[in-house]
Amino acid sequence: MKKNMGAADKIVRFIIAAAIAVLYLTNVITGMLGTVLLVLAIVFLLTSLISFCPLYVPFGIKTSSKEKE
């Protein structure tokens, strides 16, 4: 599993995940929408922590900088 996410991508995902978590915990978003968004936030957090997004692979997207050889 090669890293395919850059620093900016990871930071944006982390901020979005944190915002969704805060909105969910303060009951601003509730019900089915809240649950779906919370699951999305967890996925964003996990992908930002491991620097790999499986959805990028089929599209050939790579936001990380080139590795030195």
pLDDT, tens only, 8-54: 999 999 999 999 999 999 999 999 999 999 999 999 999 999 999 99
Contacts 24+ apart (CB under 8 A), 52-59: 52/1, 52/2, 52/3, 52/4, 52/5, 53/4, 53/5, 53/9, 56/4, 56/5, 57/4
Read off the pTM. Answer: 0.84
For the chain, the structural domain boundaries read 7-54
Joined together, the tokens standing for residue 47 give: 């992908």
Q: Read off the DSSP letter of residue 37.
A: H
Distance of CA 67 to the CA centre of its chain: 22
State whether residue 15 is helix, strand or coil. helix
